[in-house]
Structure 1
């Protein structure tokens, strides 16, 4: 009977090792607006653009902390975070979106602004807003069609 236990336990050993490995958690890596263009993300990603007049702006710091809470939720929705804290740089993002002071702008994959906020927004509110975008709804339906 003892050899049977050893055989059964050895059969499940690879599963135990795999279960102990921590799942890969995506890193939160915001991109600088001066280094990327909107065209790079067109139809591929949903940019969330966080504007401020300075990186020391309390609203900017709060917003970045809120976005860093759950990078997996952003990755699930194909979100990329772009930051612009230098008004003098006149980046493509600033010229297109024309922010004043702190501003949070959610764009869809087609490059069009869907939502603008003058104050920091919680990650839960952001993901709920993205889930209401027409393109996001279409993606969810394609991934999980009814009747399956």
Structure 2
């Protein structure tokens, strides 16, 4: 019962309009070196991640089977960017660089508005 509720909450948290953009990292196992590489890339500019309202979530095959199925993830490593509107904006099977990630986000209409409204 509790697991079903938890799964439903995770599903809702990734499908409804959000205040944050989401970078979803999927891997076949916790020791996947591409996960480490992706996290190292993101850790290099935490201020930029925070400024762009990015929440990073990591899912592992088996433990997070529902998310793998929901997002149709079949590779040993996949990274998916979800916009504030809930739509998938980017997907790759290799870590995304900060310049690519920030470039995609900074071109989004909501982000353009955010940049205009911030002092």
User: When the two structures are superposed, what TM-score results if normalisation uses the length of structure 2?
Assistant: 0.79
Give the alignment partner of residue 69 of structure 2, picking from 75, 81, 95.
95
Q: How far, CA to CA, are the matches of 1:88 and 1:40 in structure 2?
A: 17
Q: Which runs of 5+ in 1 are unaligned?
A: 1-33
Task: Please state whether the residue corresponding to 2:44 is helix, strand or coil.
Answer: coil
Matches within 5 A, 1:1-148: 37=10, 39-40=12-13, 42-91=17-66, 93-100=67-74, 101-143=76-118
Q: Deviations over 1:24-71 (max 9, x none)?
A: xxxxxxxxxx7x625447331000001110111111111111111111
More contact order relative to length (CA 8 Å, sep ≥ 6) = 2
User: How far did 1:142 drift?
Assistant: 3.2
Structure 1 residues 38 and 107: CA distance shift in structure 2, 3 A: farther
Paired residues of 1:108 and 1:135 also in contact (CA < 8 A): no
Aligned-pair RMSD on alpha carbons?
Answer: 2.0
Q: How far, CA to CA, are the matches of 2:52 and 2:11 in structure 1?
A: 17
How many residues end up aligned between the 2 structures?
109
Q: Which runs of 5+ in 2 are unaligned?
A: 1-6
The match for 1:4 is: none
User: How far did 1:88 drift?
Assistant: 4.7
**Is 38-47 or 78-87 further displaced after alignment?**
38-47
